[in-house]
Structure formats: structure tokens, C-alpha cells
């Protein structure tokens, strides 16, 4: 514990070897997979658009963005809540950083718009609490490994923007994990306002209905376009 | 921006000089002030209880806890939501860390239990967005300065536990800033499950009704006891 390093994975999976290029720079227009249960990092330049695709409709994407020039500036759900006045971001909304700068703007969402901004990524400790004794793939490690795969290191694990994750919050504050309500092929697009490094994890949660009832966690896909 | 250091304040106030002792170790049983608009850090040893007092009832306390042995392990609101299944912690609830360890347990809350776990601390950028041109005291800087005052440095600004802050979240996700509903003298107590460094900021927000309508931000107080 004394040597806890937030950038160090608790175990490993293929995320360590799935980089789209040595430094995460994409080929514009190409569609890349986010393999099931894995994470991947991509550099999105100012003005470019990132589109994330949900082939099954029931697969959650843990999503983070770091300012390329300083990873201590990253997308922050707590700051987002103040800026937007809601816990549910929608098309046109700015996604703000720890410095309250707009890193990305949501430019498209073909789903009903149900996404989560209050729940932490799954991690090694979470699966141990759920009864796992062997290593279980997890989104926090996928973030760490996706960054290591392009030569970077997570300085911390920010609270994620959980695309398509369905966590209703009742008026009394009670939260629950419900299956996603997106449809197969739904997509979300984000225009970069500054150069960012985005990390996406195809959530490997298979012990709660976060990724749908009775289905295995699946892949996602993404592409970068010019506009 | 390239040199952004999350531990460096954007300005200064008396928080830099208000340490209760050189390393933040308290004298058990003594009641200490948290001066209005300022922050202060205190070491709470495993088994000790920290009681935070709200003299006016309408003063919000931004509250953070770091594991003494490694400040990268800190109280995390996103992890708390998963653990508790609610955004509103109450007496008996564990306050968990980025590693899902219980750092503190809420052992007393004389208020109606309305506290916030979704909104970021106020900071320099927030007050600029609210129209301030001169430096405005802010909770993020108070955290940074309170740690500097005891010889430490904030490795990041975690999302705070905002004691007595009243942010209703409607079923459609919309949040609003409402005045606190606590009464003068209300207090909350926390038993430490491990050695922690707690930082409290008497929120200096006077441009929204976060600390009450038409009243100036005021002080808080705290004490450490054995059990």
C-alpha cells in the first residue's frame, strides 16, 4: 500500500498490446475496434471529431479525456455537473476539465441519451468485493494499460463518463444499475476543442446488469474524422 | 498551462498560516476554528473521531480525506456512490477511498442529512466564470494551502464531500444550488478507520446561495476525540 502508484495496473490483459499506433495517433477515417473487455487510447487533435459506436447497444464505454499538454487537466464529472446543471449531458453540451475548460463538445448522440456521470470505473477492488478471487478485467486497469501502450502513464484514475451506462438516481438519492437502453449501432460523437488523449474501455462488468442482462461484455468501435 | 501543477494555489489567503501544528497533529479534545473563507488540515489517527461543527447552520464545509500513508489514496465520491447505492451518505455509512477502503465512518449527523457528493469545489476558474476579476478565495486553493501549511502538497484536487451543501438532483438529472437546511450548531462526526489527513474548507462562495441567502460565508469548528 505504501507504494501504491495510480498508474500501475493490478493485472494485465490485451490492452497492453492493442495501441492503434506507437503514440496513439489515429489514421483519420479509419474505424478501429475497442476489443471486448479491453481499453484503448487515441489522440484527438483540436477540431477533429471522435465517434464512438456501440455495435450491440448494450455495451457500456468508460470514457476519459486528458489534455495532451498536461494530463493533470482531465475531463471531470464533478466540474461537469456544475457547468451543465445536470448529471445527464446531452448533444451540444461542453465536456469540461478540472480547469473548467471545454475539452470536447458532444455533437451527436443517436441513443436516448442515458449515460452515467456519478459512478466510478470498475476496478480490481470492486471485483474482489463482488467475490472474484482470480484477476478480472476492469476499466481502471484498461485505462492504465491503454496509456502504457502509447508510452504514457495515468497520473490518477479520474471519475469516468460512462457512455450508455444506465444508473437512475431517484429523488431520495438512491442509485441502481440498470441495463442500457441504447440500440444496436448507436453512436456518440465528440468534437475536440483542444488536443486531447481519449481513453475508452469496453466495460468488462459481467457480474451486474451494467452491460445488459444475460449477455457477455462486447466490443465497441471508434473513428476520428476531420470535422 | 504546460506547467499546471495541481498542488499550486492560484492565489493566497490566511490558510497558508493557520496550521494547528507544524504537521497538522491535533491536541485531542481541543476545539479548533476553521476561519471563514479558509481551509485547514488535521491528522486523524485510526480510531479517533473528528467532529465538524456548523455554528450558523448555513455554512458549507468542503471535506476531503487522504490516506496518510499515500495521498493518492483518497476519499472518492464516485466510488462512494457505488458502495452506498446512493448519492446521500448517512450515519453508519462508510466513506470509501479510490482503493475502496473505508477511510472514515459517519458516526453522527444532527442535521437533516442533506449533503452533496456530486459538485466540484469552487476554484479560481469558477469565480472567473461568475464574473470575478480579482482573486476570490476558493475551496480548491484552500485545500492546496492547508496542505502546504503542514508541509504537504495536493497531488490532485479530489471531488469533495460537501457537508451541509444542498444540491437537489431531480429525476431528470437537473441539479440546483439551494440554501443549506442545517440548524445552528449542527455537527457531523467521523470515526477514522485508518490514519487519514482530513482537510476542511469553510466555503467562501458568496455569489450563489450555497452558504445561505443574503448571508456572508462564516467559520466552522472541529475537534478530535479519542473514541
Per-residue model confidence as pLDDT tens digits over A96-125: 999 999 999 999 999 999 999 999 999 999
> Strands B161-163 and B186-192, how do they pair?
unpaired
* pLDDT, position B1: 47
- Residue A81 has its nearest CB partner, among B99, B118, B168, at B118
Rounded to two decimals, what is the model's pTM? 0.96
For A199, what's the count of Cα atoms within 13 Å in the CB-facing half-sphere?
35
* pLDDT, position B2: 52
Name residues 89-108 of chain A within 8 A of B (Cβ): 98-101
Phi/psi at A7 (nearest 5 deg)?
A: -90, -5
Q: Does B46 touch chain A (CB under 8 A)?
A: no
Which residue on chain B is closest to A3 by alpha carbon?
Answer: B70
The span from the CA of A79 to the CA of A213, in Å, is 32
Confidence of residue B3 (pLDDT cuts 50, 70, 90): low
Cβ-Cβ contacts under 8 Å, B172 against chain A: 86, 88
Per-residue model confidence as pLDDT tens digits over A140-157: 999 999 999 999 999 999
Confidence of residue A186 (pLDDT cuts 50, 70, 90): very high
3-state helix, strand, coil split of chain B in percent (to 5) is 15, 30, 55
ipTM of the complex, rounded to two decimals: 0.96
**All 3 cell numbers of residue B17?**
498560516
Q: Does A6 touch chain B (CB under 8 A)?
A: yes
Do B169 and A173 count as a contact with CB atoms less than 8 A apart? yes
Mean pLDDT in residue range B65-90: 97
Do B77 and A73 count as a contact with CB atoms less than 8 A apart? no
Average pLDDT, chain B: 96
The span from the CA of A101 to the CA of B38, in Å, is 25
**All 3 cell numbers of residue B207?**
455569489
* pLDDT, position A213: 86
Residues 6+ apart with CB under 8 A from A75: A63, A64, A65, A66, A95, A96, A97, A103, A104, A158, A161
DSSP 8-state assignment for residue A122: P
Confidence of residue A214 (pLDDT cuts 50, 70, 90): confident
- Report the residue of B118, B130, B140, B162 to disrupt the A interface, i.e. the one with the largest count of A CBs within 10 Å: B118
The span from the CA of B91 to the CA of B110, in Å, is 10
The span from the CA of A184 to the CA of A169, in Å, is 25
Amino acid at each position: 500500500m505504501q507504494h501504491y502508484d495510480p498508474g500501475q495496473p493490478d493485472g494485465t490483459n490485451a490492452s497492453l498490446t492493442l495501441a492503434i499506433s506507437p503514440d496513439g495517433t489515429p489514421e483519420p477515417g479509419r474505424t478501429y475496434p475497442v476489443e471486448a473487455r479491453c481499453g484503448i487510447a487515441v489522440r484527438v487533435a483540436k477540431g477533429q471529431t471522435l465517434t464512438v459506436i456501440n455495435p450491440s447497444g448494450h455495451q457500456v464505454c468508460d470514457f476519459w479525456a486528458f489534455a495532451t499538454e498536461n494530463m493533470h487537466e482531465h475531463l471531470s464529472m464533478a466540474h461537469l455537473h456544475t457547468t451543465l446543471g445536470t448529471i445527464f449531458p446531452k448533444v451540444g453540451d461542453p465536456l469540461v476539465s478540472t480547469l473548467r475548460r471545454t475539452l470536447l463538445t458532444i455533437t451527436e448522440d443517436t441513443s436516448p441519451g442515458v449515460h452515467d456521470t456519478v459512478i466510478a470505473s470498475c476496478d480490481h477492488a470492486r471485483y474482489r468485493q463482488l467475490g472474484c478471487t482470480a484477476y478480472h478485467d476492469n476499466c481502471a486497469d484498461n485505462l492504465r494499460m491503454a496509456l502504457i501502450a502509447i508510452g504514457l502513464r495515468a497520473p490518477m484514475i479520474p471519475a469516468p463518463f460512462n457512455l450508455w451506462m444506465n444508473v437512475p438516481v431517484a429523488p431520495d438519492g438512491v442509485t441502481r444499475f440498470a441495463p442500457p437502453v441504447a440500440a444496436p449501432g448507436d453512436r456518440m460523437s465528440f468534437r475536440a476543442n483542444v488536443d486531447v488523449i481519449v481513453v475508452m474501455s469496453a466495460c468488462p462488468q459481467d457480474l451486474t446488469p451494467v452491460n445488459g442482462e444475460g449477455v457477455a461484455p462486447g466490443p465497441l468501435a471508434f473513428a476520428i474524422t476531420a470535422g
